[in-house]
């Protein structure tokens, strides 16, 4: 008697064209979600706390837009991605970035009291610049 084999409850993609189509659909959904996030975060939202989880599944790098216009924001958490060019609100007091590739926006935060970063760059000198932040 042959042992029972496990059978998935979903159809398996047997053809490379099926896999390529599934990847395209994921990328299309991701692009649409990124566009919605960009539109939402471009508005002057009355937020004090914001948690943004940006995961790069597709080929293009997703970028957190400028958040400088969020004038009531005091706590910000960015998970998975933060590249250069994103302006942060000057009044931020608490910041968490899990994949920081550029410290320039962070170094502009004079009111920052709490900082957690996972740097993703090779220049250790940039990290030493954080000591210049007066409230940190």
Q: Which of 42-46, 87-91, 117-121 has the lowest mean pLDDT?
A: 117-121
Distances from the Cα of 129 to the Cα of 65, 85, 97, 107, 108, angstroms: 24, 18, 17, 7, 11
Output the pTM of the full model.
0.70
Mean pLDDT to the nearest integer, 48-66:
70
Is the predicted pLDDT of residue 25 greater than 70, yes or no?
Answer: yes
Return the domain boundaries, the chain: 17-132
What pLDDT, on the 0 to 100 scale, is given for residue 53?
79
Is the predicted pLDDT of residue 59 greater than 60, yes or no?
Answer: no
């Amino acid at each position: 008697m042959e042992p029972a084999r496990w059978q998935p409850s979903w159809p398996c993609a047997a053809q490379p064209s099926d896999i390529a189509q599934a990847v395209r659909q994921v990328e299309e959904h991701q692009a649409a979600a990124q566009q919605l996030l960009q539109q939402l975060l471009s508005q002057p939202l009355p937020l004090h706390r914001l948690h943004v989880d940006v995961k790069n599944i597709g080929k293009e790098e997703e970028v957190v837009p400028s958040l400088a216009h969020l004038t009531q924001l005091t706590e910000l958490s960015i998970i998975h991605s933060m590249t250069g060019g994103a302006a942060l609100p000057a009044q931020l007091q608490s910041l968490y970035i899990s994949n920081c590739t550029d410290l320039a926006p962070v170094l502009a935060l004079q009111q920052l009291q709490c900082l957690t970063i996972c740097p993703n760059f090779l220049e250790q000198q940039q990290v030493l610049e954080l000591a210049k932040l007066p409230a940190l």
